[in-house]
Amino acid sequence: MTDFLFDDQDAVLPTFFPGVLYRGLLEKGIRSESLLRNTALSAECFSDENLRISFTEHRQFIRNAVESMDDAHLGWWFGRQLNVSSLGLIGYAAMSCSTIESSLQTIAHYFKIRAPLYELRLLKDLDSTDESALQLNEAIDFSDIRYFLLSSALSGAANLLAYYTQQKNVVLRM
What is the predicted pLDDT for the residue at 42? 94
What is the predicted pLDDT for the residue at 2? 44
Q: How confident is the model at residue 12 (pLDDT cuts 50, 70, 90)?
A: confident
Span 92-128, pLDDT tens digits: 898 888 887 888 888 888 888 888 888 888 887 666 5
Q: What is the percent of the chain where pLDDT is above 90?
A: 37
Which residue in 41, 71, 35, 77 sits closest to 56, CA to CA? 41
Mean pLDDT of 26-55: 93
What is the predicted pLDDT for the residue at 126? 61
Residues 6+ apart with CB under 8 A from 87: 94, 107, 111, 114, 160
Q: Which residue has the higher pLDDT, 50 or 28?
A: 28
Q: How confident is the model at residue 1 (pLDDT cuts 50, 70, 90)?
A: very low
The three-state secondary structure class of 136 is strand
Span 125-164, pLDDT tens digits: 666 566 777 888 888 889 999 999 999 998 988 888 788 7
Judged against a pLDDT cut of 60, whether residue 17 lies above it is answered with yes
The three-state secondary structure class of 132 is strand
